[in-house]
Amino acid sequence: MNIILFGPPGAGKGTQADKLVKIFNLFKISTGDLLRQEIKKNTYIGLKIKPLIDKGFLAPNDIIDDLIDKVLSDKNHKNRLIFDGYPRNVDQAKQLDLLVKKYNQKISCVLSLDVDKNTLIKRILGRQTCTKCGLIFNKYFNPSTNKEHLCDPRFLDKRPDDNEKTVINRFETYIEKTLPILDFYKEQNLLHQINGTGEIDQIFNKIRTIMASLET
């Protein structure tokens, strides 16, 4: 099955996607990760989008579509994808429909994590990533401990776009351009809305219940 994990920045999409990958043997496709890889490699695409990403704006549709097309063309990924952070507007959602049909696939369901604005801002401003091992923590909700994080605390770092001004801009962009996708998928009877506030495992249990209903 192909799943879209939907929600505003800081809703916990990446965390839940990682758990889905392990349980259901899926591949996570994060457009944010794909774009950051392009920036890190200083590719033509990376140089073009870096100023936009740093200010909290979305990358152009044509660039995202090309990256997604490349992913879907991989036969190992067929009907085994979780889209994390894509689509981000209705035009991208329509294009994704065309792309999955191009490769004889379909979207099985859309999971929307709903979290209030103040909680999202606190989550993002507290987010820390270990530059050595890649583990992600939050100093407010999930702080690093010696038991689970053996690297030196000096390796804990914040993403450059995790600042209050950028966070608020990203949230407003989400409200303006991304929320209409809910209606798009609701019309296709694919949308499942989930309260994304609470313990990580509690939220994941809600997702597993939905996934089980799709398999019956």
| Catalytic annotation, residues | 13, 88, 127, 159, 170
Contacts (Cβ under 8 Å, ≥6 apart) of 33: none
**What's the rounded Cα separation, in Å, for the pair 147 and 115?**
29
Amino acid (one-letter) located at 199: E
- Closest by Cα among 63, 125, 116 to 88: 63
Q: Where are the beta strands (DSSP E) in 33-85?
A: 81-84
Quote the Cα angle for 212-213-216, to 5°.
90
Phi-psi region of 189 (alpha: psi -120 to 50; beta: other; left: phi over 0): left
**What's the rounded Cα separation, in Å, for the pair 12 and 18?**
10
